[in-house]
Structure 1
Amino acid sequence: MNKGQSVLFGIDDSDFARQALSEIGGLLKKNENLKITVFHGVAEPDFSAFLESIGEEPRALEKYRERWDLKARTVLEQAEEVLAESGFDPGKTSTVLDKKCGDPADAMLKAADNEGIETIAVSRWGKSTISRKLIGSVTYRLVQSADDLALWVIDPRICSNNVLIGLVGAPISQRVVDYTVRYFSHLKESKFTFFHVIPPIPPQYWSSEDIKDMEEDEKHEKIARWLKEYTDKVKATADDAKQKLVAAGVPERNVVFRFQPQQKGIARDILLELEQGNHGILVIGRRGYKDIREFGLGSKANKVLLSGRAFVICLVN
């Protein structure tokens, strides 16, 4: 199993997590090269305090340990059943139980590193999520700290298996393309849309000395060249992506490009395309040109993560 062909799914004892796992199982069941490892972490209770409360009853402590262990294992057994019911091959499912888990986010990062897994997946919400929160606390910490891994944040219900791939004029786009091909090219019936929002010309471009001294016609020519170079770079990435998807068996008619000028803002334009285009999977880079560390993400990815619903967002490094 090559690195990048496995997903570590972190689960707790919540309906949100089981529903998200079912969605992922159904999404990935036809990917013959991919394995899912389900991780569950629990903090070991203070058995010494329990022993003090029951006195000299060692058998009672043993029974308490057994019940605690059974409850933890039951979460993983239920997860395996959920995956099997979704159609995912049980032979490609494994489990990891961490019985001394102080911080689930940190434990998942370590487990992924130990297993050679590059992708962590979690439900948007967990058992302890307060309803008014946009995402759960473990998901929040993973978004902040999973800098070296791809991270999937999954809604309990995914509206479709159509894939929206966000492209920018930066090297991260090539990694986004390659990741999309490896993980989602088995979705032969899905529509793959490569989407690029053309940003406004940077303000510093207008204030440069070269531009200031130019005649209006020269300015327009220079701006036109800049836009062409910019869009050609993105178009080359998109053309390469199309070739790779078609080579992987995706029908050419199912691969489309959408390039448009910025309208309401890049993040809001992506969200609008998600909704109007009936895309259930969004693959974007964690950061674009700017290394803005808001919430561990670039600002645009951050806004999309917090505002989107009924989809899987795949954040690629």
Structure 2
Amino acid sequence: MSDEKRILVTLDGSKRSKRTIDYLCSFTPFKTRQVTLFNITTPVPEAYYDLNQNSFGKIAVSQVKAWEMGQKTIMTEFLKEARQKMITAGYVPANIEVKLSKQEKGVARGILNEIGSNAYHTLVIRRKGSANSIMGVTMGGVAAKLVEKADKIPLIIAGTRQIQHYLCIAVDGSAGSKRVIQYTAEIMGKTDCRILLCAIMRTTVTDSVPEGKDPFVDMSIQAKCKLENALAKAKENLTQGGIPDDRIETRLIQGAESRAGALLDTARAAKCDTIVLGRKGISDVEAFDLGRIPRKIIYASRKFTIWLIP
């Protein structure tokens, strides 16, 4: 992760992307960071310029060029207004950069190239972009590609729940889970946030169950101990990062039919606004860019803001 702590925010000028700006204005920890507001404009296909060979075509080409300029002007004005709104919300003017780029090989590819060419700390996107997005579809095409492929940078998918800085963090003791705690401490340290650390297991173990009687029971007891230790260590690391002990709650959920479902139910019941999890858990399969539980959470949690940490 870069020490510059620069945040890349993708915007397309839609009403939905205005909500991304609302999220940034509400989320206090980012107000001290450097932010790049980024848009990739979609040009007219080059074939249109072949019309330049006759008088009728020349008129069409001039109209196309005017349309392109008009779109660029609209987007430039949108980014300017977004920047001003963030400044009004408390961002430092010198820390907000506006960047307009021309599409060459697809919007998602352009965003990935921008990430690869610059030292960004975090990427902020929305689930869907323009109003032309298909109704009922949870993720737009660009967002889905970025969720899969932007696997080297913390990814924030801005939701619609009111931001109260109340985070539900999935803990499983894996290396990815430890990076989640590290990132959260870095972002939320010394803020007035609340943290709910949540570990989930499918089996149920009572304190009265003796060890050494049944191999399956023994495995469940060991799993419970491991998760309890992971929760305790996560809380310790967060307090060391500047989050008060009394602002952190730990919860071990047993007998869950679905770990993703249990995590969502817990976050909803606690009225958290953000769910934080690693890209992969204990079963860190290198052939897959995203684990099963994160995938389920992202597609089932339309209103939550999701932090996905590599």
- Structure-1-length-normalised TM-score: 0.82
Match of 2:264 among 267, 271, 288: 271
Extract unaligned runs of 5+ from structure 1: 202-215
Q: CA deviation at 1:50?
A: 6.8
Q: CA deviation at 1:253?
A: 0.6
Q: Which amino acid letter does the alignment assign opposite residue 19 of structure 2?
A: Q
Alignment correspondent of 1:195: 198
Match of 1:298 among 291, 294, 297: 291
Worse overlay, 246-255 or 42-51: 42-51
- After superposition, residues 152-301 of structure 1 pair within 5 angstroms as 152-158=156-162, 160-186=164-190, 188-200=191-203, 218-220=212-214, 222-223=215-216, 225-291=218-284, 296-301=289-294
Change (3 A) 1:184 1:2: same
Aligned partners of 2:211 and 2:217 also within 8 Å: no
- After superposition, residues 71-82 of structure 1 pair within 5 angstroms as 71-82=74-85
Match of 1:110 among 109, 113, 128: 113
Aligned partners of 2:162 and 2:273 also within 8 Å: yes
Structure 1 counterpart SS, 2:249: strand
Aligned partners of 2:169 and 2:276 also within 8 Å: yes
Change (3 A) 1:132 1:64: closer
Alignment correspondent of 1:34: 33
Q: CA deviation at 1:32?
A: 6.1
Structure 2 counterpart SS, 1:135: coil
Alignment correspondent of 2:152: 148
Q: Which amino acid letter does the alignment assign opposite residue 239 of structure 1?
A: A
Deviations 1:32-77 (A, max 9, x none): 6522211100122246257564638998787555434323322321
- After superposition, residues 108-147 of structure 1 pair within 5 angstroms as 108-127=111-130, 128-147=132-151
Aligned partners of 1:151 and 1:315 also within 8 Å: yes
Change (3 A) 1:58 1:294: closer
Match of 2:73 among 70, 74, 86: 70
Structure 2 counterpart SS, 1:148: coil
Deviations 1:222-280 (A, max 9, x none): 55554454344434443333233323332211011001213231011001011100111
Q: CA deviation at 1:25?
A: 3.0
Q: CA deviation at 1:305?
A: 0.8
Change (3 A) 1:56 1:191: closer
Identity percentage over the alignment? 19
Change (3 A) 1:175 1:61: closer
Change (3 A) 1:315 1:35: same
Taking only aligned residues, the RMSD between alpha carbons, in angstroms, comes to 3.0
Distance 1:224 1:62 in 2: 71
Distance 1:34 1:2 in 2: 12
Structure 2 counterpart SS, 1:218: coil
Aligned partners of 1:284 and 1:301 also within 8 Å: yes
Q: CA deviation at 1:150?
A: 1.8
Change (3 A) 1:268 1:30: closer
Q: CA deviation at 1:97?
A: 1.3
Q: CA deviation at 1:176?
A: 0.9
Change (3 A) 1:200 1:6: farther
Aligned partners of 1:165 and 1:194 also within 8 Å: yes
Structure 2 counterpart SS, 1:315: strand
Q: Which amino acid letter does the alignment assign opposite residue 301 of structure 1?
A: P
- Structure-2-length-normalised TM-score: 0.84
Q: Aligned residue pairs: how many?
A: 300
Deviations 1:172-230 (A, max 9, x none): 111111011112224x32211110002339xxxxxxxxxxxxxx97333x555544543
Does 2:42 match 1:48? no
Does 2:23 match 1:23? yes
Extract unaligned runs of 5+ from structure 2: 205-209
Deviations 1:91-139 (A, max 9, x none): 3211221123431211111111222114211111210311211111111
Q: Which amino acid letter does the alignment assign opposite residue 144 of structure 1?
A: E
Aligned partners of 1:38 and 1:95 also within 8 Å: yes
Match of 2:87 among 84, 98, 102: 84
